[in-house]
Amino acid sequence: MEILNHLKDMFRHMYWADAQVWNAVMSTPDAERNNKLRTQLFQIHTAQYAFGQVWLKKPLEIPDLDKFRSLKEIAEWASKSQDLLEQFFKNVGEEDLDQPVELPWAHRLEEVFGKKPSASTLAETMIQVTSHSSHHRGQVCTSIRESGGEPPLIDFIAWVWFGKPRAQWPAIDSK
């Protein structure tokens, strides 16, 4: 199997896991009033959206969290962000994976650590998006449990065992 197909599977899992988490969030008592949860969810999709914008060579325009009046509005934006990533995948090929990707926020690392970041490839940034999202989904699952909800099973291998289902966003639409 080509590397690109593995990466596409990682993204399909990410979409599915995100949707599973959102479904759990929407059925969690007091989720709407949990600012920590709101911030964590926004962080996941801000990263996905930002990388998608970079890969598609679009202007980096990240909305403010305060723009969203409800979790439902954040979930709708998150779902559309995944559509943006799907648009990117329609035109990427195996030969693109080793191409360097310049991240507009990389200079912040130099400011913090005093060292210019090494170049990163498209494949490396794609792995970053899925691993970063996984990390923050874990935080969200902890917040769901702390808020009285039940976090979903979202492991990659569980997704494989379930037959690699497509993402379903039942809490916001019929996607």
What is the 3 state secondary structure string of the chain? CCHHHHHHHHHHHHHHHHHHHHHHHHCCCCHHHCHHHHHHHHHHHHHHHHHHHHHCCCCCCCCCHHHCCCHHHHHHHHHHHHHHHHHHHCCCCHHHCCCEECCCCCHHHHHHHCCCCCCEEHHHHHHHHHHHHHHHHHHHHHHHHHCCCCCCCCCHHHHHHCCCCCCCCCCCCCC
Domain assignment of residue 47, yes or no = yes
Residue linked to tokens 């969690």: 28
Q: Is 51 within 8 Å of 133 (Cβ atoms)?
A: no
Domain assignment of residue 142, yes or no = yes
Q: What is the pLDDT of residue 174?
A: 41
| Domain at 131, CATH number | 1.20.120.450
Domain assignment of residue 174, yes or no = no
Q: How many domains does the chain have?
A: 1
Q: Is 51 within 8 Å of 11 (Cβ atoms)?
A: no
Domain assignment of residue 172, yes or no = no
Domain assignment of residue 175, yes or no = no
Domain assignment of residue 53, yes or no = yes
Domain assignment of residue 59, yes or no = yes
Domain assignment of residue 128, yes or no = yes
Q: What is the pLDDT of residue 171?
A: 52
> 13: domain range?
3-161
Q: What is the pLDDT of residue 81?
A: 86
**What pTM did the predictor assign?**
0.92
Q: What is the pLDDT of residue 41?
A: 97
Q: What is the pLDDT of residue 169?
A: 87
Point out the residues of the chain with pLDDT beneath 70.
1, 170-175
